[in-house]
Structure 1
C-alpha cells in the first residue's frame, strides 16, 4: 500500500512517496505554532468507495472563504494547514486557531481521531 505525505510547508499536493498522484481519498492536517512552535501531523487515507462520510466532511468546509483571524494572531497561536485530495479535486486551506470552528473543527477532529486509532 503506498504511503502519502504532505510537503510540510503546505505548498504542494499530497503525493505518494514515489511521486505518483494519490489514487485514494487523503486528508492531512498539520498544526503549527504554540509556545514550543512544534509541528504535529495527522492523516487519513481511504478508498473512495469506502469513504462517503469523509467526502461529506470535506465538502461541508468553506474552502473558498478568506481566513483572517484579525487581532487574534500571535506567535504562540496554532495554525492548521488542511489538505484534502478527493477523486476529482484537491483542496487546501490554512485556518488560524481562532477560526477553527464548525465544519473545520469537525473535519480536523475526525482526522485526528482516525489517525490515533
Structure 2
C-alpha cells in the first residue's frame, strides 16, 4: 500500500492516527522506539535510507542541505499551517497516485494538493 511513513516532530500526532486508519505503516518521531524529538536531521535521513522510509515534514533543511542520495524519500510540505486532516489526506492521495519508487526523492508538496 505504499512505503512506511515517518512523520517528523513538526507534525501533529493526529496525522499518525489518520494515516494508520487509512492502513499505512506510519510512525511519528515523538512515539518512535529508536528516534526521538530533537534528533539531528542527519539521523532521520539515515534512518529513512536504511529502512526505505518516506519522511513527511515541514523542515526544508532536507531540501536545502541534503542530497537525494542521503535519504530514501521526503514529502516536504511547503506551508506549515495545514490541518492534520489535510496532511493525512494529501499523503494518502500522493501514495495512491504514485508507486513507491517514484517517491524515492525530494517531493515538494504545495497547496495545489488541497
- Same-fold call, TM cutoff 0.5: no
Q: Which has the higher helix share?
A: 2
User: Which is richer in strand?
Assistant: 1
Tell me which structure has the larger Cα radius of gyration.
1
Please indicate the TM-score interval, normalised by the length of the shorter structure: under 0.3
